[in-house]
Structure 1
């Protein structure tokens, strides 16, 4: 993985990558968001492979960010505020292990921040059900096919986008105005 000097990477799985990608592209300090697959055993998986639920991979996004502008902790806050971390292997109508909630860490600091954040949310009873988000070391991230990249911005009128993603973007814009790009 080749990352510009001063930048860091976070990889998050929170259901359909079209949703999570659209959210994180909105944030100040985020220079790049790539949709892809991580956490499984199949080498060079395709979307068709992932949809079988047998690859072990999750749909995820890899975020390149400037920690001087947006911290890993702030990314976690938005991640947990914009998906349901209490549903095992599903987000809404998207069901299967590929739609699980998982944080893939690249350092001990990212692992500890994630563990501490989940512990705090659990203690404060942020959610009425237990958090099932997994925390795993980052493995090989496979970039998804080109048609998945920046999907929402090119397909806003498509029904899935307008009914599932647009409400998440509206929630983000309402609750995190100060963290958004123009």
Structure 2
């Protein structure tokens, strides 16, 4: 994080820190579970989930096809020509629609993260804890065979988020 200390203006440093954290936040491994339409995305190209599913009213699937039908407490290896796995985590679910990121600019996501009406009611401290400690967020760095992890580590990501908060939690332009 020393490279950010060279940015003298705290607001500019804060934006630069968030842009760096945005490499994780906007990575498909994370944003695939933050759609506005209730349809999870898959893969680095963010195609709609196959088979066709919906997150349902609570983000855990529909009554006849809950997410846990396929997504278990841990990744499930699949059989085939390539090594792959079905993602798994005890907390597997879609983010609520008000927390949608798919198709949004990094600046818009930043403003949304600071808005308690659109971030699950979290304070900035709670948001940092979620990003730095939550096991489902942490899954992004260990998604299993055949799945690209998000860059860096959860620890470094948590430190970036904390530094962003400490410098005023400024956001890049929403465009």
- TM class by shorter chain equals under 0.3
Q: Return the TM-score normalized by structure 2.
A: 0.24
More strand by share: 1
State TM-score, norm by structure 1. Answer: 0.23
Larger of the two Rg values belongs to structure: 2
